[in-house]
Structure 1
Amino acid sequence: MMSLSHVVPLRKGRAAAAFGVAMAALLMTPAAQAQETPAEIIRPVKLMELERGDSKITRQFFGQVVARQTVDLAFQVGGQIVEFPVIEGQIVPKGGLIAKLDEELFSLQLDQATLQYDQAKRRLDRFNRLTGSAVVSEVTVQDTETQVGLARIARRNAEYALEHATLSAPFDALVATRNVANFTTVGAGAPIVRLHDMSDLRIEIDVPEVLFQRASTDTNVTLFARFPTGDTLYPLAIREYVAEASTIGQTFQLTLGLERPVGLTVLPGSSVTVLATVDQDGGNPILPTTAIDLANDGGPQVMVFTLSEDSEESADGLGTVALRRVEVRTSRDGEIVLVSGVEPGELIVRSGLPSLTDGQRVRRFVGFPD
C-alpha cells in the first residue's frame, strides 16, 4: 500500500505540468497562432462571357430574273410605219418613241371632221334664232342638234386617231423583239414590238413552306440577290407570291422585287442566287439552363462575377459573385434567350449556382493544372 508521502508529490507534479502547458499557450507568438487558423476556402467557378450571338441562318435559292410585265405593243389605228427607231435589246425610257405612222391621212380626217362640226354648229345657231317662226319647225332644230352631236363625235374620233398614230413606251422598257419592219403597213391591234417592263426587276424563287410563312410575317428575314458577275449583294423585297403550293416538293413561288442595279445589265431569264438570312433570336445571348436560378418569387436570376480590384487577386482570378434578376424568353427551338438584365461583356457563373451565396468570394476556373 502506497504511503501518503508518495501521493502528495505526484499531485504536485501534475499541477506543475498543467501550469506549464497553459503558460506555453499564452506565450505562443502571433505567427504561430495564425498558422493554426483554418485558411479561407475560395471555390473555383466556371464563367461565361455574354456576347451577342450570331444566330443567323442563311440559305441559298437559285432563281430567275423576270420582267415586271411583258406586253405586245400595237397601234390602235392602222397605217404605214414611217418611224421605227428602236432596236432589240435597247432600253427605252418611259414616254420614249417606239414607232410612228404616217400622220398625213389622220390630219386630213381631223380637218374634215372639224369643218363638218363647224358647219353643223353654224346651222344650229341660225335655226335657233329663227325658232318660233313659221320658217323653221321644232323638228328641224332637233335634227340639226343631232347633226352637231355626230359631227362632234367624228371630230373626236379623228383627234383620237391622230394621237394614236404615235406609239410611246408606257414604262421603262426593254425591247425584246421587233415583229415588223419599218415602212410596213399594219392594221389596228397588230403587235409591233414586245416590251419588258424593267422599271422594277422581279426574281422568282421556290421556297419551302416553313420559310415562306416566316418570310411573309417575320421582319427578321432578310433577302439579298447575288449575280454571277460578282459578289455584290442587292437587297430584295417580297412583291407577290403564288397562294398555292406546288404539287411536287410542297414549295411556294415567291416573286421578289429589285431596283435596277446601276452599271449592271440584267435581262429577263438571267440566273441569280437569292440569299435568305433568318435572324432567329435577334442576336440575343443564349443562356444554358445551369446558369439560371430561381428567386424566392420564382423569377429568373443569374450570378454576375466581378473581378477583384486588387492587382494581385485579379491576377489570380479572384472576385465576387452577386445575384441579379434577368428577363428571359424561350426561342422557337426551346433555348433560353436573355432579353435584359445583363449587358454584353459581363461574366456570369455558368454552373453551380445553388452552392454559392450572394457576395461570396470565388476564383475563376481556368482548367486543371498539368
Structure 2
Amino acid sequence: MKIHISVLILAILLAGCGKEAKQQDVAMADETVVPVKLSRVEAASRSELVRVSGTVASAEEARLSFKIGGIVSKIFVKEGQTVRKGQLLAMLDQTEIDAQVNQAQYSAEKSERDLHRVQNMLKDTAATLEQVQNATTGYDVAKQNLNIAKFNQSYSRIISPIDGTVTDKLINEGELTGPGNPGIIITSNRKNDWVVRIGVSDKDWARLKMGDKATVNLDAYPNEPFTGKVSNFAQAADPVSKLYEIEISIDPAGKRLASGLYAKVGITPSKSSNYWIIPVEALLEGNGKQGFVYVNVENRAKRIPVTIGYLDGDKVLISEGLDGISEVITAGSAFLTENSKVEVRK
C-alpha cells in the first residue's frame, strides 16, 4: 500500500513539473520582440554656443552734463539730431557765473597790487620778509581762484566731444540742473562703432575670450545675419541682474543701425570640449541636462543614463555616459523597457 501511494505522489510531481516547463516555453514564445535600428556613436570636439540676447548700442557713448549747477539758458539741439565734434549743445545762464569770474579777477588784481606795494616797502625796510611772503601767498591763492572760476565758466556749456547723434535730451530750457546730472546723451554715428551689449552668466563669462566670433541676428533685418566678435569684458557683475556685461562689435555690412535694436547673439567660444554625437531620436526623457539611451547587449535593451551637452539640429551632443559605447538604439527605442528583447534590422 505504501508503495502505491509513493508512486502516485511521484506521478503528480512529474505532471506538475511538466506543466510548469510547458508554461515557461509558452511565455518565452509569447515574449514581444521589438524591432530596432542602431546608429553609430561619433566622437567630436566642439564648442558649445553661448546664446543670449541684447541690444545694439554705440561703442562710443557720451553722457554729457554741466560741471556746475544753474539755470538752463539755451539748448541748441533736438533728439535725433546729428552733431559734430566741438559743437555747442547747451549752456547755463551766465549771469551768476560771469559775476563769479569777475569777482575772482578783481581779487587777483588786488592781490597783485598788494604784493607789489609790500615788495616796495621791503626795499625801504618798511615791511618785513614775512609780510612779503604772506602777500605772495595771497596773490597765488587769488590766481588759483580765478582759474577755478574760469574753468567752471568753460564747463557751464555742453560741447560735443564726438561726431554723433543726440539719442536723449534730459534737460529743458529754464530748468534748474545740478552739477553732474546727465543732460544730453550722444552716440557715435561712425559705421564701425556699433556693438551689441549682452549679459552672460559667470560660467559663460569664463568660457569666452576676446576675439571669439559671434553671429548676430537683428529683428530689424530678418534672415540677414551679421558677423561680430567679442570686443570688451566687464570685470564685475551687475549688482541687480548678477550677469556680466560683454560687448560684441558687429560689422553693419552697409546696413543702417540704431541704438536699441533688439539682437539675438550666438558666440562660439575658442575653448572646445569633447562630446559623443548621437541622433536626437536616440535620446529619451531628456530633463534639463539629464536623459538616457538604450543600447543593444546580446539582443537585450540596456538603459544607459547620459548627460546632455547641448542640441545641434538633429544631433545631440553627450558629455558623459557613453564611454565604450559604439552604437545606440534609435528607431524603436520609444517602445523599449529595461531588458526588452530586440531584433536589429537594417
When normalised by structure 1's length, the TM-score is 0.47
More strand by proportion, 1 or 2? 2
When normalised by structure 2's length, the TM-score is 0.50
Larger Rg: 1
